[in-house]
Amino acid sequence: MQAGPRFSQGGDAKAISRIATEVYGGFRQMFDAHGWDAPGEKLMTSASALIVKQYGTIRAFEAAHHDRLGLNHRSANDVWDREYDVLLTSFWGWTPDTWGTVGWSGDRGLARRRNLLAQLTDPFITVCYVTSNKSHVERDLKGKIAGFYVVSHETGDRDEFTHPIHHGRDVHKWRHSLRALRAFNYLPEHRLNVADLDPGLLVRARSVAAMGEVLTDPEQIALLRRTPWIEVEVYTTALPLLSVAGDEGSSHGMVPAGPASREGYAVAGGSHWMPRELYVLRFDGDIDAYLGRPSEGRVIIKIGISASPDLRRQSIQKAIPRGAYRWRIDRTSRSSGLQMCPNHAVAVKGEDAMKRHLAANAEWLGGEFYLATEDDIEAAWRFGCQAAYEDFE
C-alpha cells in the first residue's frame, strides 16, 4: 500500500485479515503456506507475532503482498469469484458496524457450528435476511435480504466479535460465534424480499434462523451475486499487535474505523453501466444557527446521482455528529415517477444541468451543496430531468 501514517492496531488487524482472505483464501491457508502452526481458534491472535517475526513489520508484510492484492484492477465481484460456500440465515436487524459475527445458541448450536466448519470453505459467505417478527426492526428491512458477510473459521464467544452495546442483551443467545472479516450491504433500492430468493423459505424460517441453511442452487447464488452491493464497515477488535506509544485514548464513544473505499457499488459486469437516479437531499434543522447568519428563507440541499440515494444520504449523515440536524431525501428520479437513468453518463447530464442552474442562481456552499430557494430547487430539478431524459421516449 502507499506509504503513510503509522498503522493503528485495528488497521493492522484489517490488513492481516484482508491479505489472509484475498491472497490465501483464509487464515488456515495462509498459515499452511508459511509453515506456521497454531490451533484453529488461535489463528488470528497468533498471526501478528508470526508475521512480525518473519517479515519484520506488518507494513513489510503488506508490501510483500501488494501485487497479489491487485489493488489497481480488482474485480467488482472478487468476493463471489472465489467460489466460497454460501450460508443463509436470518438476523433481528442488520448492523455489521457493531455486530461482526455469525453465531449459534445452545448445545445444538455448538454442534451445528462444528459441522458447518467441517463442510464449508474458509472463509465462507453468510447471507442475512432480516426477520419480520420483531417490532424494533426497521420497517424497510423486515423480510428483506439486507447484506452478507465473509466469515472466517475463527471461533470465539459472541462478545469477542461484537460492540459492547450488545453485551448485556440476550445474553444466552449466539454465544458460539465465528468472526466476520468483511461486510456488504445490498443497496436498499435493490434489496430482495426473502421470497424472491426462495418462495418456500418462510416455511423453514425457524430452522434457517437457528441453524442456517447452506445454499447450493446456482440460480439462487447467481441472483445474490448480481444484486448490487457495497462494502461497509464491519466491527472488529484489535489483535494483540505491537503497542504504539501515545495511543492510550479513552474508549468512550470509540467506533472502529471503516474500510477504505475501493470500488463503491458492485454489480456483475462492473458499476459504470449500472442505472443511477438523480437526487436532491435536504438538510433539516435550524439553518440560521447552522450558517451563523440569516438564511433568508433558503434551505441547504445536496444534489447528485447515485445507484442508491438512500445509502448516499446515510453516508453523509454518518459523517456529522448525532444531533438535531438530519439529511433527508427530498426527491429522486423514481420518487418523481421517472425511471432510473440507464447508466452513469446519462445521469451526469442531468446532474450537470442542476449544477449549472444552482451555480448561477443559488449560493454555493462547496462540493455539491447549495443554499437555495424553493423556486431554485424546483427549477434545477426540472432542468436536470430534462437533460437526463431528453432522449427517452
pLDDT tens across 146-156, in order?
Answer: 999 999 999 99
* Maximum average pLDDT range among 13-27, 71-85, 200-214, 251-265: 200-214
Q: Rounded distance, CA 223 to CA 303, Å?
A: 31
C-alpha separations of 342 from 271, 274, 338, 345 in Å: 12, 7, 12, 9
The share of the chain scoring above pLDDT 90, in percent, equals 38
- Please give the pLDDT value at position 271: 45
pLDDT per position as a tens digit, 75-91: 445 788 888 999 999 99
Confidence class of residue 269 from pLDDT cuts 50, 70 and 90? very low
Q: At residue 279, does pLDDT exceed 90?
A: yes
Cis peptide before 123 (omega within 30 of 0): yes
- Please give the pLDDT value at position 201: 83
Whether 129 and 227 have beta carbons less than 8 Å apart is answered as: no
Give 177 or 316, the one with higher predicted confidence. Answer: 177
Q: Any bridge partners for residue 291, and if so which?
A: none
- Please give the pLDDT value at position 287: 95
pLDDT per position as a tens digit, 12-35: 777 888 788 777 777 888 888 888
Q: What is the mean pLDDT of residues 21-50?
A: 80
- Please give the pLDDT value at position 167: 86
Q: What is the mean pLDDT of residues 181-201?
A: 89
User: What pTM, to 2 d.p., does this model score?
Assistant: 0.55
- Please give the pLDDT value at position 59: 75
Mean pLDDT of the chain: 80
- Please give the pLDDT value at position 135: 56
Whether 204 and 150 have beta carbons less than 8 Å apart is answered as: no
Q: What is the mean pLDDT of residues 171-192?
A: 91
Q: Rounded distance, CA 325 to CA 371, Å?
A: 15
Q: At residue 355, does pLDDT exceed 80?
A: yes
Q: Rounded distance, CA 179 to CA 38, Å?
A: 17
Q: What is the mean pLDDT of residues 28-50?
A: 80
Q: At residue 249, does pLDDT exceed 50?
A: no
- DSSP codes joined into one string, 68-123: HHTTTS--TTHHHHTT--EEEEEESS--TTTB-EEEE-HHHHHHHHHHHHHHS-SS
Q: At residue 183, does pLDDT exceed 80?
A: yes
pLDDT per position as a tens digit, 296-324: 999 999 999 888 898 888 888 887 888 89
Whether 146 and 91 have beta carbons less than 8 Å apart is answered as: yes
Residue bearing cell 428491512: 141
pLDDT per position as a tens digit, 122-143: 899 999 999 876 656 677 788 8
Which positions ≥6 away from 366 have C-beta within 8 Å?
none
C-alpha separations of 170 from 92, 96, 159, 167 in Å: 12, 17, 11, 8
Confidence class of residue 67 from pLDDT cuts 50, 70 and 90? low
Q: Look up residue 15 and give its three cell numbers.
A: 490488513
* Sheet strands (E) in the chain: 86-91, 101-104, 124-130, 145-157, 176-186, 213-215, 229-232, 265-266, 277-284, 299-306, 326-332, 363-364, 369-372
Residue bearing cell 442475512: 128
The share of the chain scoring above pLDDT 70, in percent, equals 82
